[in-house]
Amino acid sequence: MATVANESTRMNTLVVRKPCFGLPTGCPQCLSAYIFLKFSQVPFNLDYHPNYPDSDQIPYFESGDCVAYNNEKEGIIESLKREVGDLDSGISSLPDWTATKVLLTTWLADALEYELWVGCNGSSVDKIYYSDLPWPIGRLLYWKKALWVMQKHGISKDNAEKKEEEIYGRANSAYDALSTLLGEQNYLFENRPSSLDAIFLAHALVILQALPESSILRVNFLEHTILVKYVQQCNTKIIETSALPSNYPDFHAEPSSSSSDSKGRSTSGSTKPKTKPKRQPQTKEEKTFRRRAKYFVVAQLVAVILFLSIRSGSGDDALELDDVGYDFDE
């Protein structure tokens, strides 16, 4: 018989994208939520969701019967404040608070987004978001997102270089400001962890561990020794192997498609090895279903390709991935 969960027994679960690059999750938004909960010292299970890589609902936090999604008003961090407690109580009214939050959520968020989807040609995002998908679908979703990022920043073939300089320049200015604000403190404000620390640490850890050494944003960040030291000190406190789901024995392990539940999500309970069942001959209905599924996938691919073709031929100012350094043969 099901039992009713109360305040002392309800289960807290943070659902994120899979671990990679030595991190409990490679997604910046997911990682900031994870760090916020670690700072809050709230017990929680870490779970992962390998499906729907373009969903803006992930990460989400389950607490008893309540679920807080990332795409809710003000985002996952504000939802966590209401669910588990406000880390920012008493410091969010400080003079530099609002300006620092703007730097983190605009200039630095935009710079990391640009670097992941445009600057590094998708070398990192493929592992973070799409490695569990068939290659054609993953690449099409990647190109779709890359086009969206370029449209967001108003990037065209005529201004790509100028826009890139602006994005990197703003990020470097933000790093300078944060270095001055941090100084010799352990955290950004009042020497105590806050939601802004969680956001910035997620940003920095993805830069240091997910971006290639040739990344301009990574090179610029490494020049700010105060920030690098700050990240290294905090990293040892918040990133723990024990926090991973049980089917992830280390950060570099890849998820297994056989370890998901009916929701398409991994379970964090213990598992037992199972004997591989003998393969049964397919029925006529199964063969028909598989054939129709293949037709559906092909139809989706053709539709996306036609969409991209129409977009690229819609005018002189249309965005073209080749014009900003993309290689479709990757």
Q: Which pLDDT belongs to residue 8?
A: 42
- What CA–CA distance (Å, rounded) separates 75 from 77? 6
Do the domain assignments include residue 280?
Answer: no
Residues in the chain: 330
Does 124 map to a domain? yes
Question: Has residue 177 been placed in a domain?
Answer: yes
Region of poorest pLDDT, from 18-32, 250-264, 275-289: 250-264
Residues 269, 246 contacting (CB under 8 angstroms): yes
pLDDT of residue 289: 53
Quote the domain boundaries for residue 170: 13-88+95-243
Whether 145 shows a pLDDT value over 80: the answer reads yes
pLDDT of 85 strictly over 80: yes
Q: Are 239 and 227 in contact (CB under 8 A)?
A: no
pLDDT at 60 over 60: yes
- The pair of three-digit structure tokens given for residue 29, joined into one six-digit string: 């938004």
Question: Contact at 8 Å (CB) between 82 and 67?
Answer: no
In-domain check, residue 66: yes
CATH for 24: 1.20.1050
Express each pLDDT in 260-291 by its tens digit: 343 445 444 333 333 434 445 556 555 555 55
Q: What is the mean pLDDT of residues 232-252?
A: 58
Residue 22 Ramachandran class (φ > 0 left, ψ -120 to 50 alpha, else beta): left
Q: How many domains does the chain have?
A: 1
Query: What pLDDT does residue 48 have?
Result: 86
Show the tokens assigned to 151: 């449209």
For the chain, percent of residues with pLDDT exceeding 70: 69
Span of 103-107, 151-155, 188-192, 262-266 with lowest mean pLDDT: 262-266
Question: What is the distance between the alpha carbons of residues 220 and 65, in angstroms, rounded to a whole number?
Answer: 44
Q: Is residue 188 part of a domain?
A: yes
Give me the pLDDT at residue 129, please.
Answer: 92
What pLDDT is attached to residue 73? 81
In a domain, 311, yes or no: no
DSSP H helices in 131-194: 135-152, 160-182
For residue 12, CA distances in Å to 18, 42, 50, 80, 276 come to 18, 8, 19, 11, 33
Q: What is the pLDDT of residue 159?
A: 96
For 171-211, the pLDDT digits (tens) are 999 999 999 999 999 999 999 999 999 999 999 999 999 99
More confident residue, 329 or 299: 299
In a domain, 31, yes or no: yes
Q: Which of 40-44, 63-67, 193-197, 306-310 is predicted with the least confidence, judged by mean pLDDT? A: 306-310
Report d(CA 111, CA 176) in Å as an integer: 15
User: Which among 319, 326, 309, 316 is positioned nearest to 152, based on CA atoms?
Assistant: 319
